């Protein structure tokens, strides 16, 4: 499999180089030159397959022989060795729970897959790799855990001061070792801009081998397809509508990719918070990135979503085709909190703020389409968000995997959003 840049000014590369580089020199995103097609009986067969087997069959064409099948099978088995249950909430809405991994967030899958690929490729190269990642919440914790103590890899994480929850911050800042955490006095967009600048800094590349662990990296992005296959494995009836909490749009882009391969999903809803760049674009045709605003669903606080260009690529930048398959809505914090309370009161289910945004968006869609049913992606455990207990007026049970972080010492450096400071830290790591 070859990968081209969405800006089309960098040469095509294979999977290995796309993973190691993270981002093309022209600041586009790597995209597969061809999208694999599922065999006619794949969906039927996957009902009897293990999650690891499904993951291997889905990802193998994208890896394109860059590692032995035996090692890829091992990586897939290690990546998805926890549950992905599809839980019924109401008569028409189901939740695919993606928070049963080690950091209680959907990003565990991509981080675990990428860390193992990078370890394999770094060992081949015999050279230290530095991973840089910007996070609005869950990505950093998943990456920190997935890459912690991986030989030959150093990790630099950037997160916005005051814009992540207590649990998210503890997962980001308490591991130490090969993980360096930087708290920026700014927004997620500032963090992401610095990470992108580092990845395209030619003079830095001469002294440090740098790659990204954000979903701009194909090894983080592509495995997110697995969720949708696991959902359909448990689904009965006609193809569902899927409502995806959307910030940087990697998760939704992977779902769209899976449907182009042949997975039967009827329609996607990009469920956004007040950061409504994409809903506005689908409504007006004008794409206007702008600074992000803080919301209850903080991991979705993105004002310039990187991965949306991949969605545009899949539809040939044809807005009419895009809107036939995907709609986008903005849900306020007030509606988010109201949804958390109503779902708990009516169904006894506790949503996190991101899942609540997806639930509200899907609920509105189903009101207009009474013959349809749908799935929300519940992307993180509600205990990771300080707001949920306050909204419900009750304390949430804390899983043991979270409680252990409370007694750990934070290790974090607070900085201004200054690229030169981050650059010096990377160079120190490279020595």
Residues involved in catalysis: 107
Both structure tokens of 346: 């009516």
Residue length of the chain: 431
Of 85, 86, 43, 89, residue with least CA distance to 362: 89
Determine the longest span between alpha carbons in the chain, in angstroms: 61
CA distance 259 to 340: 30
Both structure tokens of 401: 């995997």
Alpha helices in 15-157 (DSSP H): 15-21, 42-46, 51-63, 69-79, 107-125, 138-147
User: How many C-beta atoms lie closer than 10 Å to residue 362's C-beta?
Assistant: 26
Q: In what order do the strands lie in the sheet with 2-5?
A: 13-14, 2-5, 30-32
* CA distance readout (Å), 222 to 137, 261, 372: 20, 12, 28
Both structure tokens of 391: 């909204």
Both structure tokens of 331: 């849900």
DSSP 266-333: -EEEEEE-S--HHHHHHHHS----------SSGGG--SS-TTHHHHHHHTTT-HHHHHHHEEEEE--H
CB 81 within 8 A of CB 230: no
Computed from CA positions of residues 377, 380, 385, 388, in that sequence, does the dihedral angle turn out positive or negative?
A: positive
CB 390 within 8 A of CB 117: no
Alpha helices in 99-185 (DSSP H): 107-125, 138-147, 166-173
Q: In what order do the strands lie in the sheet with 179-184?
A: 210-212, 129-134, 153-160, 179-184, 413-415
């Amino acid at each position: 499999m070859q990968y081209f840049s969405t800006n089309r000014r960098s040469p095509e590369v294979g999977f290995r180089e796309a993973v190691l580089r993270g981002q093309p020199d022209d600041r586009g995103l790597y995209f597969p030159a061809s999208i694999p097609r599922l065999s006619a009986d794949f969906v039927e067969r996957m009902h009897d397959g293990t999650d690891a087997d499904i993951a291997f069959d889905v990802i193998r064409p994208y890896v394109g022989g860059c590692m032995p099948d035996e090692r890829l099978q091992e990586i897939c088995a290690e990546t998805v060795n926890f549950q992905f249950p599809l839980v019924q909430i109401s008569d028409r809405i189901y939740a695919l729970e993606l928070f049963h991994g080690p950091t209680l967030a959907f990003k565990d899958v991509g981080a675990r897959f990428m860390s193992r690929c990078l370890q394999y490729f770094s060992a081949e190269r015999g050279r230290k790799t530095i991973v840089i990642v910007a996070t609005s919440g869950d990505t950093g914790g998943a990456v920190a855990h997935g890459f912690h103590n991986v030989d030959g890899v150093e990790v630099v994480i950037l997160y916005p001061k005051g814009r992540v929850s207590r649990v998210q911050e503890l997962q980001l800042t308490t591991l130490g070792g090969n993980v360096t955490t930087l708290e920026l006095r700014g927004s997620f967009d500032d963090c992401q801009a610095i990470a992108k600048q580092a990845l395209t800094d030619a003079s830095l590349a001469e002294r440090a081998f740098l790659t990204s662990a954000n979903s701009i990296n194909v090894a983080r992005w592509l495995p997110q397809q697995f969720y949708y296959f696991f959902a359909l494995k448990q689904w009965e009836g006609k193809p569902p509508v899927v409502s995806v909490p959307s910030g940087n749009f990697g998760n939704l882009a992977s779902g769209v990719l899976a449907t182009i391969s042949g997975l039967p999903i009827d329609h996607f809803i990009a469920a956004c918070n007040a950061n409504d760049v994409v809903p506005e674009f689908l409504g007006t045709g004008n794409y206007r990135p702008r600074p992000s605003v803080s919301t209850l669903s903080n991991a979705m606080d993105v004002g310039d979503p990187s991965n949306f260009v991949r969605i545009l690529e899949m539809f040939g930048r044809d807005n009419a085709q895009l809107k036939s398959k995907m709609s986008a809505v903005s849900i306020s914090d007030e509606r988010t909190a109201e949804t958390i309370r109503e779902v708990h009161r009516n169904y006894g289910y506790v949503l996190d703020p991101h899942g609540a945004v997806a639930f509200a968006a899907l609920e509105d869609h189903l009101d207009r389409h009474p013959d349809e049913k749908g799935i929300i992606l519940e992307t993180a455990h509600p205990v990771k968000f300080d707001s949920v207990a306050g909204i419900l007026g009750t304390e949430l049970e804390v899983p043991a995997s979270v409680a252990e972080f409370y007694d750990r010492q934070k290790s974090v450096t607070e900085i201004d959003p200054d690229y030169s400071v981050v650059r010096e830290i990377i160079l120190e790591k490279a020595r």
